[in-house]
Amino acid sequence: MAIELRPAIALDLWHEATLALVRLEGHDLSLRQMAILLHVYLVPPPHTVRGLAATLCVTKPVITRALDTLGEMGFVTRVRDPVDGRNVIIKRTVEGALHAERIGDLIVAVGKRI
């Protein structure tokens, strides 16, 4: 299932996709926030603050604040873990799924245009 990309094509793809995202959303999502969003929606749950911090190699407050922002946008929800009250489970939302899908479509469109 590996994708064969020659370096020049890969860079072009990334270039156009980045450009499209910057134009589309201004500054709505930073690189980190996008990484968190996609990780939550593409990797099987459950997702915790600690786990996200580990996979992104950042500190926990970064994740907390990013989740605050993503929560305000309606892209994720936080629920306390019923079996271990210390954990917080990050839940997906319809809005967030739509946004992730939108990003995927954008990349597909860019790929077609190259």
CB atoms within 10 A of CB 91: 14
The distance of closest approach from Cβ of residue 61 to DNA in the complex, given in angstroms and rounded to an integer, is: 4
CB atoms within 10 A of CB 98: 12
Sign for the CA dihedral angle at 21, 24, 29, 34 comes to: negative
Nearer to DNA, 4 or 72 (CB): 72
35 binds, among a copy of itself, DNA, none (CB under 5 to 8 A by kind): a copy of itself
3-state helix, strand, coil in the chain (%, to 5): 65, 10, 30
Contact with a copy of itself (CB under 8 A) among 31, 83, 84, 85: 31
The distance of closest approach from Cβ of residue 92 to a copy of itself in the complex, given in angstroms and rounded to an integer, is: 14
Number of residues that bind a copy of itself (CB under 8 A): 47
